[in-house]
């Protein structure tokens, strides 16, 4: 049952941005909250790696973090596991291989103390491309209590251009650098016209980020600047799995639907934003 509609048609939501910060999960309660909602699928990101201690309840090893996210998604077809990785760790390429083999659909990266083009990280991204797994990056201001946002400006992600076969997304429309994010997307779009799959492909995740005052303008510029964004926009809520509130996510979606209606976007585009593109991004059928 869908409670959201657009142009007279039901809207199904595939939330591409859901965090995990602890091992506990009441799967029954999660299913109850989502059963009568428009939220049909969730991308679930593993507990943060050791370099982000403020975003978890206790220390976890890399092996434990991978095992936990796989276990949380086990026997719940609506949940799809993503492994959060520190791409600068010495064994990060090996972590990519192990996580891909174990069944994650993709990877999550936050550049908290390094630039995206750090040579150590580039080797990790190359391995992601080799195992055909996409990666979602935080982009924009980073609320981590440290001086780190400079690592997350969208233009810094131009360094990923030459990684053949890599598919990545910048989350939060890179707020407050939303115009820069859109411009970088245009650059990637142009590069792919010239080089095709010999260069990386960029998506934009519209997970807030953008405070309500800024959101309508940011979305308008994203969809109306003239770049071919239709197949490259993802929606996420920035929620937490153990307290996921499908009704609150629906309210968030309804606000964006109103903005899309003002832009007169057709249903086929809106359907891609809320479910089709994330399936393609992660190779989920």
The predicted-structure confidence for 11-66, as pLDDT tens digits, reads as follows 999 999 999 988 777 777 777 777 779 999 999 999 999 988 776 778 899 999 99
Both structure tokens of 53:
């201690």
The structure tokens 């780190």 sit at 148
Q: What percent of the chain has pLDDT over 70?
A: 99
Closest CA to 208 of 15, 65, 9: 15
List the CATH number of the domain containing 38.
3.20.20.140
As to burial, measured by CB atoms within 10 angstroms (0-12 exposed, 13-18 middle, 19+ buried), residue 236 is: buried
Average pLDDT over residues 69-84: 94
pLDDT for 71: 94
Residue 228 has pLDDT above 60, yes or no: yes
Average pLDDT over residues 65-84: 95
Band of pLDDT at residue 1, cut at 50, 70 and 90: low
Mean pLDDT of the chain: 94
Residue 191 has pLDDT above 70, yes or no: yes
Give me the domain span that covers residue 133.
5-282
With contact defined as beta carbons under 8 Å apart, do 173 and 210 qualify? yes
State the total domains in the chain: 1
Average pLDDT over residues 85-111: 98
pLDDT for 27: 72
């Amino acid at each position: 049952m869908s409670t959201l509609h657009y142009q007279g048609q039901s809207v199904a939501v595939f939330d591409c941005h859901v965090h995990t910060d602890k091992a506990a999960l009441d799967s029954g309660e999660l299913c109850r909250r989502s059963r009568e909602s428009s939220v049909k699928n969730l991308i679930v990101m593993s507990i943060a790696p050791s370099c982000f201690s403020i975003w978890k309840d206790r220390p976890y090893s890399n092996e434990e973090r991978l095992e936990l996210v796989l276990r949380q998604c086990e026997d719940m077809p609506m949940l799809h596991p993503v492994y959060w990785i520190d791409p600068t760790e010495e064994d990060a390429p090996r972590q990519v291989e192990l996580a891909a083999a174990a069944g994650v659909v993709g990877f999550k990266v936050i550049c908290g103390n390094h630039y995206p083009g750090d040579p150590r990280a580039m080797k990790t991204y190359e391995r992601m491309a080799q195992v055909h797994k996409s990666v979602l990056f935080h982009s924009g201001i980073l609320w981590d209590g440290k001086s780190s946002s400079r690592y997350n400006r969208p233009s810094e992600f131009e360094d990923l251009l030459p990684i053949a076969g890599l598919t990545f997304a910048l989350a939060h429309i890179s707020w407050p650098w939303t115009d820069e994010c859109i411009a970088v997307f245009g650059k990637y779009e142009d590069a792919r016209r010239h080089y095709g799959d010999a260069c990386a492909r960029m998506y934009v995740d519209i997970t807030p980020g953008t405070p309500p005052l800024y959101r309508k303008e940011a979305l308008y510029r994203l969809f109306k600047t003239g770049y071919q964004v239709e197949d490259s926009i993802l929606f996420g809520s920035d929620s937490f799995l153990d307290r996921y509130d499908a009704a609150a996510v629906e309210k968030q979606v309804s606000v964006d639907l109103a903005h899309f209606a003002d832009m007169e976007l057709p249903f086929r585009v809106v359907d891609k934003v809320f479910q089709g593109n994330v399936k393609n991004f992660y190779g989920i059928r």
